[in-house]
Structure 1
Amino acid sequence: MKQLGFGFNLSTKKTRKREFLEEMEHVVPWGVLVQVVDPYYSKAKTGRPPFPVETMLRIHYLQQWFGLSDPAMEEALHDVPLYREFARLDGATERLPDETTILRFRHLLEKHNLAVDMLRVVNDLLGYKGLMLRSGTAVDATLIAAPSSTKNIEGERDPEMKQSKKGNNYYFGMKAHIGVDMASGLVHTVVTTPGNVSDINMAGALLHGDEEVAFGDAGYQGVHKRPEAAGPTWHVAMRPGKRRLLNPFIEPDFIAERAEKMKASIRAKVEHPFRVLKRQFGFTKVRYRGLFKNTGQIVTLFALANLWMARKQLLETRG
Structure 2
Amino acid sequence: MDQYTLGLDPLPKKTRKEVFLEEMNQVVPWATLVALIAPFARGAHQALGGRPPFPIETMLRIHCLQLWWNLSDPAMEEELHERPLYRRFAGLDGAARMPDETTILRFRHLLEKHQLAPQVLAAINTGLAQQGLMLKTGTIVDATIIAAPSSTKNKAGERDPEMHQTKKGNQWHFGMKAHIGVDADSGLVHTVIGTAANVNDVTQAAGLLHGKEKHAWGDAGYQGVDKRQEMQGSKAKAKAKIKWHVAMRPGKRKALDANRELHKLLEKVERLKASVRAKVEHPFRVIKQQFGYAKLRYRGLQKNTARLTMLFALGNLWMARKRIMALQG
Tell me if TM exceeds 0.5.
yes
Residue 206 of structure 2: aligned partner: 204
Cα distance between partner residues in 2 of 1:267 and 1:244: 19
Match of 1:117 in 2: 119
Asked if 1:226 is matched to 2:228, the reply is yes
Matches within 5 A, 1:250-269: 250-269=260-279
1:177-236 residue CA offsets vs partner (Å, 9 max, x unmatched): 000000011000000100000000101110000110100000001111113233310000
TM-score, normalization by structure 2: 0.92
SS at match of 2:312: helix
**Counterpart Cα distance in 1 of 2:288 and 2:35:** 29
Q: Which residue of 1 aligns with 2:4?
A: none
In the TM superposition, what is the alpha-carbon distance from 1:87 to its structure 2 partner?
Answer: 0.3
Is residue 2:252 matched to residue 1:249? Answer: no
1:42/1:50 contact within 8 Å kept: no
Which residue identity is paired with 2:60? L
1:130 to 119, 129, 132: 132
Residue 309 of structure 1: aligned partner: 319
CA distance in 1, matches of 2:323, 2:96: 35
Q: Report the Cα distance in structure 2 between the residues aligned to 1:122 and 1:88, rounded to whole angstroms.
A: 22
Q: Which residue of 2 aligns with 1:86?
A: 89
- Tell me the CA shift for residue 248 of structure 1: 1.9
Structure 2 portions without partners, runs of 5+: 1-7, 232-239
Q: Which residue of 2 aligns with 1:18?
A: 18
Equivalent residues of 1:136, 1:183 under 8 A apart:
yes
Alignment map for 1:89-238 (pairs within 5 Å): 89-91=92-94, 93-229=95-231, 230-238=240-248
Correspondence 1:21-36 to 2 at 5 A = 21-36=21-36
The one of 53, 57, 60 aligned to 2:60:
57
Aligned residue number for residue 70 of structure 2: 67
Q: What amino acid is aligned across from residue 65 of structure 2 in structure 1?
A: L
Residue deviations 1:111-137, cap 9 Å, x none?
A: 000111100000000100111100000
Query: Percent identity, aligned pairs only?
Result: 63
Q: How many Å apart are 1:48 and its aligned residue?
A: 1.1
Aligned residue pairs, count: 311
Q: How far, CA to CA, are the matches of 1:29 and 1:312 in structure 2?
A: 15
Shift of 1:11: 5.8
Q: Distance in 1 between matches of 2:37 and 2:108?
A: 11
Take 1:227 and 1:271, find their aligned partners in 2: how far apart are those partners? Answer: 28
What does residue 290 of structure 2 align with? 280
SS of match in other structure, 1:84: helix
RMSD: 1.4
Q: For the residues of structure 1 that align with 2:110 and 2:26, how far apart are their CA atoms?
A: 25
Which residue type is aligned with residue 188 of structure 1? Answer: H
Question: CA–CA distance in 1 between the matches of 2:210 and 2:142?
Answer: 15
Maintained 8 Å contact 1:209/1:231:
no
How far, CA to CA, are the matches of 1:110 and 1:214 in structure 2? 30
Cα–Cα, structure 1 residues 207 and 314, in superposed 2: closer, same or farther, change >3 Å? same
Please give the alpha-carbon distance, in whole angstroms, between the structure 1 residues aligned to 2:52 and 2:298: 29
Please give the per-residue CA displacement for 1:236-293, whole angstroms capped at 9, x wherever unaligned. Answer: 0001111111122211000000000000000111111000000100000110000011
Structure 1 position 42, deviation (Å):
3.0
* Separation (CA, whole Å) in 2 of partners of 1:118 and 1:103: 18
Matched, 1:77 2:80: yes
Tell me the TM-score normalised to structure 1 length.
Answer: 0.95
> Which SS does the other structure have where 2:174 is aligned?
strand
Letter in 2 for 1:24: M
Q: How far is the alpha carbon of 1:68 from its aligned partner?
A: 0.3
Deviating more after overlay: 38-47 vs 72-81: 38-47
1:228 and 1:248 map into 2 onto residues whose CA distance is: 37
Report if aligned partners of 1:161, 1:173 keep a CA contact under 8 Å in 2: yes
